[in-house]
């Protein structure tokens, strides 16, 4: 334990097991919420910061695929008080202490206040009317299990919303995660030298995978200290791709992303392509094959790819995983 956190390696080592335990509890909790009518009506608005905001991308995609109007908003980028609306506000914060997220929740009427947190006894949980907690799972400073369990919580909520059905495959996800991790670890570690002299890294995905791209970029900034950007495929094609050079490109997706991956690779830029499709490797194109899963489940397995890769890159570049350069003193509500 390091300053209240697990080491990155320790958190990753037990992630599949802890994910299985968390999912079991979440299915029961969400089922009870649905049973008492808490998950009906206008779709949810998920608000969060950083990794918590990224965690909501695939669940929002799931809801929109079902025809439910749902959004994810950066908690710090909206004037307060939050405007009157019939949509419930779900404050997403692993610590339950994010200042901006708490401020949004406090600005709306009590009946619209929902929270999804890891730490059950926290400022955000204390002001919410309905709290879904992950069970206070010990996490690493650069979040691993805290992030994947949050995606699971939001994904299960999305599937259960307004009479929906929670997929039975959730109960198998921990095993799928562990099997995929074992199969890919050696391959991913062998790709670390692509980043040896990289000056930047781009993480790109479409739809449900935008959050994975954002979370992957955040990990590479936090853990390996490589300037990294996460964005949607279409945004990437609208100008951002033009600065390719000197970095590595990590893409998540299928046919659309494959076209981008081939374009970059053919131009001489190293590309790691994480996909459920079976793609032939090339001199600059490195496919990483993952299972085809439901949106939130896919996001959980795909971020594991980034978790393994960034640890190997940090080792290669001589960066101490547990050491952060800056500490933000105003990002969290103080513990009292």
| Spatial CA neighbour of 53 closest among 120, 101, 10 | 101
pLDDT at 105: 96
Q: Is residue 334 part of a domain?
A: no
- Same domain for 222 and 275, yes or no, is yes
Q: Is residue 2 part of a domain?
A: no
pLDDT at 332: 64
| CA angle 186–189–195, rounded 5-degree value | 160
Q: Per-residue b/e over 68-94, b at no fewer than 16 CB within 10 Å? A: bebebbebbebeeebeeeebbbbbbbb
- Same domain for 122 and 213, yes or no, is no
- Same domain for 203 and 273, yes or no, is yes
pLDDT in tens, 14-46: 999 999 999 999 999 999 999 999 999 999 999
| Spatial CA neighbour of 50 closest among 155, 147, 145 | 147
Average pLDDT across the chain, whole number: 93
Task: Tell me which H or E stretch contains 251.
Answer: strand 247-252
- Same domain for 68 and 148, yes or no, is yes
Q: What is the DSSP code string of 263-286?
A: HHHHTT--EEEEESS-----SSEE
- Same domain for 144 and 283, yes or no, is no
pLDDT in tens, 212-225: 999 999 999 999 99
Give the end of a domain, one of 166, 196, 230. Answer: 166
pLDDT at 282: 96
DSSP 3-state of 109: coil
Residue 325 CB burial class (10 angstroms; 0-12, 13-18, ≥19): exposed
User: Does the pLDDT at position 119 exceed 60?
Assistant: yes
Q: What is the DSSP code string of 17-37?
A: HHHHHHHHHHHHHHHHHHHTT
- Same domain for 45 and 151, yes or no, is yes
E strand map for 54-185: 71-74, 89-93, 113-117, 130-133
- Same domain for 274 and 231, yes or no, is yes
- Same domain for 145 and 183, yes or no, is no
Q: Domain total for the chain?
A: 2
Q: Is residue 332 part of a domain?
A: no
pLDDT at 322: 76
pLDDT at 153: 98
Q: Is residue 64 part of a domain?
A: yes
Give the end of a domain, one of 109, 143, 166. Answer: 166
Residue range of the domain that includes 40: 8-166
Q: Is residue 309 part of a domain?
A: yes
Q: Is residue 253 part of a domain?
A: yes
User: Does the pLDDT at position 3 exceed 90?
Assistant: no
- Same domain for 197 and 133, yes or no, is no
pLDDT in tens, 121-166: 899 999 999 999 999 999 998 999 999 999 999 999 999 999 999 9
pLDDT in tens, 232-264: 999 999 989 988 899 999 999 998 899 999 999
DSSP letter for 78, please: S
Instruction: Evaluate the CA torsion angle 294, 297, 299, 301 in order and state its sign.
Output: negative
- pLDDT > 70 fraction of the chain, expressed in percent and rounded: 95
- Same domain for 189 and 310, yes or no, is yes
- Same domain for 79 and 95, yes or no, is yes
| Spatial CA neighbour of 211 closest among 60, 57, 65 | 57
- Same domain for 83 and 136, yes or no, is yes
Q: Note the pTM of the prediction, 2 decimals.
A: 0.94
The enclosing domain of 210 has a CATH number of 3.40.50.10490
Give the end of a domain, one of 166, 184, 210. Answer: 166
């Amino acid at each position: 334990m390091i300053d209240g956190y697990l080491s990155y390696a320790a958190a990753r080592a037990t992630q599949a097991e802890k994910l299985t335990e968390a999912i079991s509890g979440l299915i029961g909790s969400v089922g009870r919420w649905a049973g008492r009518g808490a998950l009906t009506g206008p779709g949810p608005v998920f608000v969060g910061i950083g990794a918590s905001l990224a965690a909501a991308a695939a669940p929002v995609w799931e809801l929109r695929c079902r025809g439910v109007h749902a959004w994810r908003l950066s908690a710090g980028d909206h004037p307060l008080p939050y405007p009157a609306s019939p949509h419930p506000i779900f404050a997403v914060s692993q610590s339950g202490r994010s200042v901006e997220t708490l401020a949004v929740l406090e600005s709306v009427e009590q009946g619209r206040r929902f929270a999804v947190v890891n730490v059950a006894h926290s400022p955000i949980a204390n002001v919410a009317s309905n709290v879904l907690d992950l069970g206070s799972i010990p996490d690493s400073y650069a979040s691993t299990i805290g992030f994947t369990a949050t995606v699971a919580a939001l994904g299960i909520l999305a599937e259960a919303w307004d009479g929906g059905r929670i997929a039975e495959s959730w109960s198998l996800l921990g095993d799928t995660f562990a099997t995929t991790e074992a199969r890919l670890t050696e391959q991913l570690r062998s790709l670390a030298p692509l980043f040896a002299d990289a000056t930047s890294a781009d993480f790109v995905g479409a739809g449900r995978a935008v959050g994975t791209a954002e979370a992957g970029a955040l990990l590479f900034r936090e853990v390996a200290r490589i300037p990294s950007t996460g964005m949607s495929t279409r945004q990437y094609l609208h100008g951002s791709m033009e600065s390719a050079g000197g970095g590595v490109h990590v893409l998540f997706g299928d046919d659309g992303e494959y076209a981008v991956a081939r374009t970059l690779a053919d131009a001489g830029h190293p590309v790691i392509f994480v996909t459920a499709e079976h793609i032939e490797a090339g001199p600059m194109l490195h496919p990483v094959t993952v299972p085809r899963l439901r949106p939130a489940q896919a996001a959980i397995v795909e971020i594991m790819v980034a978790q393994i890769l960034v640890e190997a890159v940090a080792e290669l570049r001589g960066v101490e995983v547990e050491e952060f350069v800056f500490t933000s003193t105003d990002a969290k509500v103080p513990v009292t």
